[in-house]
Structure 1
Amino acid sequence: MSKYDSNPRNDLIGDILKEYTKIGGMDDLPGAGKPLSAEYFSGDLFQHFQRVANEAGHKPHWLKLQHDIRDGIQDAILQLSKGKRSDVQLRVALLNDKIHEFNQICPIPLQKGSVRIENLDAAMERWR
């Protein structure tokens, strides 16, 4: 019987951290032993997570989608200028799927409408 079987909860991450601590893996962390600043206890948990993730260089998925959509619109405009209208129709449909996903996860004030072939130039201005 393993040590995981005796625990009624399967806290795998907790167990990994305990093992890592036992071998000294947590000894040289920056800020170890220092009190947390008051800002760590202010705001809600999600805002705190976003701040820490941002400081660590993590981009939210909706921001990556925003860049993908902008680049996709730019590419569709380029293809349209080359006369590939049928290819652009497929690209616009895929872009609208990404826009739908974007609108579901981004902050409400940043939500944007779908695009059409006729309004690609205006859409490019909105997505810059």
Structure 2
Amino acid sequence: MSDNSKPPYNDLIGDMLNKRGDEVSMENLKGFGKPLPKEYFSGDTFQHFQRIAKDAGYKPHWLKLQHDISNMIHEIAKLASTGDQDDLQKRVDDVNKKIAEHNRHCPPPMLKGRISLDSLDRAKEIWS
């Protein structure tokens, strides 16, 4: 008698590693075959994941968005200062869409508000 009420087991991390292993040899990865430092096994698992990811050069999506938003704000401010008023409001609207996406993914203390054409100088300070 089999239990068909249970969903099939999904090993998402294992599947990603297997797929990655098919694309690139795992032996070529930095630190392959070396033991993990002992501090990775003590304390908070999430903090250790963050440290390992940072050591590997991983950058979270919200942090990439933060850099994009900063660049966009500086570009808008530069255009506004030169008197080029073409599509500035559309650019501000695009930035605000990115800010909304940033706020959906970032940690709560990193939430930031929308910008406007009148608040460009303040926005440059906040997003720098």
- TM-score, length basis structure 2: 0.72
- Hey, what does 1:32 align to over in structure 2? 33
Contact 1:62 1:106 in 2 (8 A): yes
The answer to whether residue 120 in structure 2 is matched with residue 120 in structure 1 is yes
Query: Which whole-Å CA distance do the structure 1 matches of 2:17 and 2:103 have between them?
Result: 37
- Hey, what does 1:98 align to over in structure 2? 98
User: Would you say how many aligned residue pairs link Structure 1 and Structure 2?
Assistant: 116
- Hey, what does 1:77 align to over in structure 2? 77
Gaps of 5+ in 2: 1-7
2:61 alignment partner AA: H
> 1:63: Cα distance to partner?
1.0
Superposed CA RMSD in Å reads: 3.1
Query: Which whole-Å CA distance do the structure 2 matches of 1:104 and 1:94 have between them?
Result: 16
SS in 1 for 2:115: coil
Q: Within 5 Å, which residues of 2 pair with 1:49-64?
A: 49-64=49-64
> 1:40: Cα distance to partner?
1.6
- Hey, what does 2:88 align to over in structure 1? 88
Gaps of 5+ in 1: 1-7
> 1:110: Cα distance to partner?
1.3
SS in 1 for 2:48: helix
Contact 1:79 1:87 in 2 (8 A): no
Query: Which whole-Å CA distance do the structure 2 matches of 1:64 and 1:70 have between them?
Result: 10
> 1:49: Cα distance to partner?
1.9
SS in 2 for 1:66: helix
Query: Which whole-Å CA distance do the structure 2 matches of 1:45 and 1:125 have between them?
Result: 34
- Hey, what does 1:16 align to over in structure 2? 18
SS in 2 for 1:71: helix
Contact 1:66 1:102 in 2 (8 A): yes
> 1:25: Cα distance to partner?
5.8
Query: Which whole-Å CA distance do the structure 1 matches of 2:76 and 2:30 have between them?
Result: 47
Farther off after superposition, 83-92 or 111-120:
83-92
Q: 1:32 to 1:64 in 2, by over 3 A?
A: same
- TM-score, length basis structure 1: 0.72
> 1:93: Cα distance to partner?
0.2
